[in-house]
Structure 1
Amino acid sequence: MKKAIQLVTFLVIAFGLISGAHAQSSGATKVVYHIDDAELQGIKGLRNIRNHLDTAPNTTIIVVTHANGVDLLMEGAKDKKNNIEYAPLVSALKSRGVKFEVCEITLKNRNLKKDQFVLDADFTPSGVVRVADLQYKDGFAYIKP
């Protein structure tokens, strides 16, 4: 009797794991791009996201910025090396469904105001917590350009 219960328990667990894996693989991919330094990751990250969507257009993408990464979403901000303004690139990706978020702790620490950011930006209480929650709770893959 004990072996029968163990077998049934094993089969229930195995079926649950297989069903869970199938459910994850059948849905659209979800990715969080983590940017904490606009100068090093800005253009590269935006191009990675564009290429990502060109190849897999049904991907759900959220870009979370904090620390110096929030500079990517500031009004009038440019890539210093290439003199390319970020806002048009951000708007183009936003029109493709990408969500951009700015860490409010960074705003406080750097004495920044929400109206300094492009209209395409949303805000999150903590960028680091948001990245962790998207990965752990919501099953997002993690990419740091």
Structure 2
Amino acid sequence: MKSVLTAAVVAASLAAGGAFAEGKTHYVAIHVDENDPQVMNMALNNVVNVSKYYESVGDEVVIEVVAYGPGLNMFIPGKSPVEHRISAMSLELDNLSFAACGNTHRKMSEKAGKEIELMSEADMVTSGVVRLIELQENGYAYVRP
């Protein structure tokens, strides 16, 4: 079915006198705000499935996983139930990045009485919510597993 649709799109584009541009780039923001291994694994499954799909149709995809609130546990070494998956996926997927909420991190650190370490794969942003807003304003599709 996919190849029939792709062929139809190409034919329609050529018939209309347009050039068919293959290799579109898609942008996806995935939101994690729960300290739930199922939710975290679902988010990472979404990353893998979306990456494989777009690769199979000749497109590219840029994915950012944004975690805040209880979801920030996803990026805490020794505490994250998906720590090894994140490390492996970071090495395998050039199109994937991780954003950790600075507000949540500051509050967790204050509560713990020490600086909470985050996985090296996660980049700190000022606010997870603001990061999601910025990504959506820049054309990212929003996914919440």
Indicate whether the TM-score tops 0.5.
yes
Q: Report how far residue 105 of structure 1 moved.
A: 0.3
Runs of 4+ in 1 over 3 A off after TM superposition: 112-115
| Partner Cα distance (2:85, 2:53) in 1 | 17
| 2:110 pairs with 1:109 | no
| Partner Cα distance (1:91, 1:61) in 2 | 15
The residue that corresponds to 2:71 in the other structure is 69
- Give the unaligned 5+ runs of structure 2: 1-20
Task: Give SS of 1:29's match.
Answer: strand
Q: Deviations over 1:11-39 (max 9, x none)?
A: xxxxxxxxxxxx9x973000000110131
Of 109-118 and 35-44, deviating more is: 109-118
| Partner Cα distance (2:125, 2:139) in 1 | 18
The residue that corresponds to 1:19 in the other structure is none
| Partner Cα distance (2:126, 2:78) in 1 | 23
| Partner Cα distance (2:23, 2:53) in 1 | 17
Q: Deviations over 1:97-121 (max 9, x none)?
A: 2100100000122226666111111
Q: Report how far residue 93 of structure 1 moved.
A: 2.2
Paired residues of 2:97 and 2:122 also in contact (CA < 8 A)? yes
Percent identical pairs in the alignment equals: 27
Structure-to-structure mapping, 1:125-140, within 5 angstroms: 125-136=126-137, 138-140=138-140
Task: Give SS of 1:108's match.
Answer: helix
The residue that corresponds to 1:46 in the other structure is 44
Number of residue pairs aligned between Structure 1 and Structure 2: 116
| 2:141 pairs with 1:141 | yes
The residue that corresponds to 1:28 in the other structure is 25
* Code of the aligned partner of 2:141: A
Provide the aligned C-alpha RMSD in A: 2.3
The residue that corresponds to 1:12 in the other structure is none
